[in-house]
Amino acid sequence: MSSAPAPVSRVAEEFTLRIRRYDPESGKPAYWDEHTVSLEPHRSVLEGILQARNETDGSIAIRCSCRGAICGSCGVKVNGKAGLACHTHLDHAKKSAGEDGVIEIEPLGNMPVIKDLVVDMDEVHWKKIQRVTPWLIGKEPVPEREYIVDRLSMVDVTQTMACIQCGACVGDCLSLEVDPLFVGPAALAKAYRFVGDPRDAMQAERLKDLAEDPHGIYDCTHCFKCIETCPKGVAPMNQIMRLRRRAGQDHHIEDQNNGERHESAFVTLVGKYGLLAEAEVVPRSLVADSALAKFHPKAVKEIVSTLPFLTKALLRGKVTPRTALIAHKLDSKDIREVRDIYDTIHGRDERNEFNLYISGTDEDNAENVSEEAKA
Ligand code: SF4
Ligand code: SF4
Ligand code: FES
């Protein structure tokens, strides 16, 4: 039985906000300043910032509009985590603050600051969205009336349609931190919106384009940050993994970045040893078939290019000659259990993707409707 929600306190409390201030035009370095605001605990961090701006310092810059998690304009970092200022309660923010209980607010990462909490999303966010052709390219011939679409296919893309382009995932993406040209979580989630739409005529072309791009689908490092960050449950990393499965398994696209071979090497190694045998990842990622018989033409160059990293790792003791050359493996009973999982998955007639964004069944809905009708 679910417990009743805690009552909402209507009594105003004091919250201290530490806001990162920076005006590039001033020529002065960034600094932090503090403002104490008095608001009911369930009010949002955005309301706190606006109160500070209205009552103590009119020069604080913040972008906002709807105040209801719809427009996507108030993305900031609260206590180091990207999110929407209007969708973060003050009491929750205080709980995740440091020992002094001060709520730290700073601009989103990976984008240049225009002023204080306002970042320039043009290069790192909007141009990437444009790059994935963010519109439907309809199949020909165009039907006289509407395209008829299978209901489940549309459920599959609904999750990506929930994106409000706030840029929070972009601001926290670890791959973007090292490669600003990475297409990024928001744009790749947008790409899945059209790749997954059965009305789109360019699915294969879109996938080939994003697989071959050195900053495309294989540039994501699976760090899960964008899933944790997204305030709308879009789970961009999951959409990127779907793009990879469609590219590799459905369209058999062998990209020039070795992304498809790298994934297949992971799957093969875990199936063979029960865990990832790192010693074999690089060579297997670079060969054209799993029997290690035929090297891809790029393999020699790629293997040579990894030698400086391997040498550094050996010198620093992160890798030993033994771990570099000999694969770790589970004992035979555990390997058998892993293989049983593989057999179950590979034994299925078709791949099943579970989209958890929409939950419940038609029957649940019918119950709700009849309850409402009784009321
Ligand atoms: S999972 Fe991939 S896309 Fe998401 S934040 Fe990490 S690196 Fe970026
Ligand atoms: S995927 Fe989520 S976090 Fe990223 S831009 Fe869209 S709504 Fe914001
Ligand atoms: S003000 Fe619109 S999403 Fe926060």
Report CA-CA distances (Å) from 181 to 189, 218, 257: 16, 13, 15
Q: Kindly give the distance from the C-alpha atom of residue 187 to the centroid of ligand 1, in angstroms, as a whole number.
A: 12
Residue 71 CA, closest ligand 3 atom number: 2
Token pair, residue 79, equals 């206590």
CA torsion sign, 104 to 107 to 110 to 112? negative
Q: Kindly give the distance from the C-alpha atom of residue 15 to the centroid of ligand 1, in angstroms, as a whole number.
A: 32
Query: Using CA atoms, how far apart are residues 3 and 1, in angstroms rounded to an integer?
Result: 7
Residue 184 CA, closest ligand 1 atom number: 3
Query: Using CA atoms, how far apart are residues 152 and 206, in angstroms rounded to an integer?
Result: 21
The model's pTM: 0.86
Report CA-CA distances (Å) from 43 to 49, 88, 94, 103: 11, 8, 12, 14
* Ligand found nearest the CA of 62: 3
Q: Which domains does the chain have, with CATH numbers?
A: 13-119 (3.10.20.30), 122-250 (1.10.1060.10), 269-349 (no CATH)
Residue 240 CA, closest ligand 1 atom number: 3
Q: Shortest CA distance to 87 belongs to which of 5, 193, 32, 164?
A: 164
For the chain, 375 residues long, give each residue's pLDDT as a single digit of tens: 456 667 777 899 999 999 999 999 999 999 999 999 999 999 999 999 999 999 999 999 999 999 999 999 999 999 999 999 999 999 999 999 999 999 999 999 999 999 999 999 999 999 999 999 999 999 999 899 989 888 888 888 989 999 999 999 999 999 999 999 999 999 999 999 999 999 999 999 999 999 999 999 999 999 999 999 999 999 999 999 999 999 998 999 999 888 998 888 888 889 888 888 777 787 778 765 544 545 556 667 767 777 887 788 788 877 777 766 676 788 889 999 999 999 998 888 887 776 666 656 666 655 554 454 444
List pocket residues of ligand 2, CB cut-off 6 Å: 163-169, 185-186, 189, 229-230, 232, 234, 236
Q: Kindly give the distance from the C-alpha atom of residue 179 to the centroid of ligand 1, in angstroms, as a whole number.
A: 12
List pocket residues of ligand 3, CB cut-off 6 Å: 64-67, 69-74, 84, 86
Measuring from atom 8 of ligand 2, which residue has the nearest CA?
A: 166
